[in-house]
Amino acid sequence: MISPADRARPRATCRACGGTVVQFLDLGRQPLSDRFLTEPEIPQEYFFQLAVGLCETCTMVQLMQEVPRERMFHEDYPYYSSGSAVMQKHFADTARQLLETEAGGPDPFVVEIGCNDGVMLRTVHEAGVRHLGFEPSGKVAEAARAKGLRVRGDFFEESTARAVRASDGPADVIFAANTICHIPYLDSILRGVDALLGPDGVFVFEDPYLGDILAKTSFDQIYDEHFFLFSARSVQALAASFGFELVDVDRLAVHGGEVRYTLARAGARRPADRVAALIAEEDAGGVATLARLDQFAAQVGRIRDDLRALLERLTAEGKRVVAYGATAKSATVANFCGIGPDLVSRVYDTTPAKQGRLTPGTHIPVHPASEFPTDPPDYALLFAWNHADEIMAKEQAFRQAGGAWILYVPHVHVRD
């Protein structure tokens, strides 16, 4: 029975199946997470309502409102995948594994959707394998071309996929990392994959995993670009409605916990046992239930209260607090929790395209990470918590000198 409270929940149409999406969390008015501003740009800043819901029919968790893709992915898109040494190794390993298992035939062809600066395809290219990257964001695509890669500056969708099939023939592998969850027009993507993929080919994509997001209350994985939060069950349903089958799932530690999904044409491969095992685990944990998602929403509110209280106390005590990592994820945290330059004086980051600018919505100045050791604060709020090992190893001197990290995943705590 639908309770009166459920009836009052806002609804939207599911972008995966056309069913009804029921809202469970509202994260408020939010800016574009990767739009770092100059001072004169502040009055024109774009905002949208960030809320997330569950599809009653296919269990896909998704945003209630879509941001037009050209606002997010354009000439100056500032995220460079090669900015993390750990991710460089992850993608080199991924490419080698794909080449070994899926590119054994004569003249194999590997396509990547959202190749960014070429962090994965460079290994494919070095192996002498035919490849093509789709990358609509201008400067990151240019960085990939500078590595000798073949890049098409288009959004992958049905029409562009058909064009590549006509000019280049079928693909053995279509790969995407941290990109399919960015794309509301999933129907066009799957029709495009259908058009471009060879009969025995695989569509492999990895994205932040709903199970990990719930387990860690990592609500900062929710922002304009992360339209979908996938689970094995929702991806299985999606695959089935487009003539594909989910044949493997691989849990990954990167970016705070992801799953790599492997789709093949229906009936072409026997699904690995771990597909059913992961779905059973999701069902046992109630991953796709409003009861579990409401509990998550309540935990998010607690993190906001705890983080604000901690930062306000430290500020009142006269401590110097900065942040580390101008991540897209941190736009959600900073704007939802109301963290501006009054609580965190600056954010350090290695990305030249973000430095000298202001963070989205809360307008905290971004400084080069190279300056962090020269002017050590008392506390550093680790916005790039998914790169904690890499960053803490690099910045060991900070803690040795008495500094402490503030983390908010899986709950607010201080590591000194």
**What does the binding site for ligand SAH look like in residue numbers (CB under 6 A)?**
73, 77, 79, 81, 113-114, 116, 134-137, 140, 155-157, 177-179, 182-183
DSSP state of 154: S
Nearest to 34 by CA among 327, 379, 386: 327
Give dist(CA 312, CA 27) in Å, integer. Answer: 21
Question: In one letter, which amino acid is 150?
Answer: R
The tokens describing 206, both together, are: 């990895």
Size of the site for ligand TYD (CB under 6 A): 19
Please, which residue, 20 or 82, has the CB nearer to ligand SAH?
Answer: 82
- List CB contacts of 312: < 8 A, sequence separation 6 or more: 343
Whether residue 377 has a cis bond before it, omega within 30° of 0: no
**Min CB(74)–ligand SAH separation in Å:** 8
Please, which residue, 55 or 197, has the CB nearer to Zn ion?
Answer: 55
Secondary structure percentages of the chain, helix, strand, coil, to 5: 40, 25, 35
Among 31, 83, 192, 211, binds ligand TYD (CB under 6 A): 83
Q: Name the E strands within 336-378.
A: 347-349, 366-368
Please, which residue, 282 or 395, has the CB nearer to ligand TYD?
Answer: 395
DSSP state of 182: G
**Min CB(115)–ligand TYD separation in Å:** 16
Partner from ligand SAH, Zn ion, ligand TYD, none contacting 77, C-beta within 5 to 8 A by type: ligand SAH
Partner from ligand SAH, ligand TYD, Zn ion, none contacting 98, C-beta within 5 to 8 A by type: none
**Min CB(202)–ligand TYD separation in Å:** 25
Question: What residues between 344 and 403 interact with ligand TYD by CB under 6 A?
Answer: 349-351, 354, 369, 384, 386-387, 390-391, 394
The tokens describing 210, both together, are: 């709903």
Partner from Zn ion, ligand SAH, ligand TYD, none contacting 212, C-beta within 5 to 8 A by type: none
Query: What DSSP element (H or E) covers 385?
Result: none
Give dist(CA 331, CA 334) in Å, integer. Answer: 5
Which residues form the interface with ligand TYD (CB under 6 A)? 79, 83-84, 325-329, 349-351, 354, 369, 384, 386-387, 390-391, 394
Which residues form the interface with Zn ion (CB under 5 A)? 14, 16-17, 19, 55, 57-58, 60
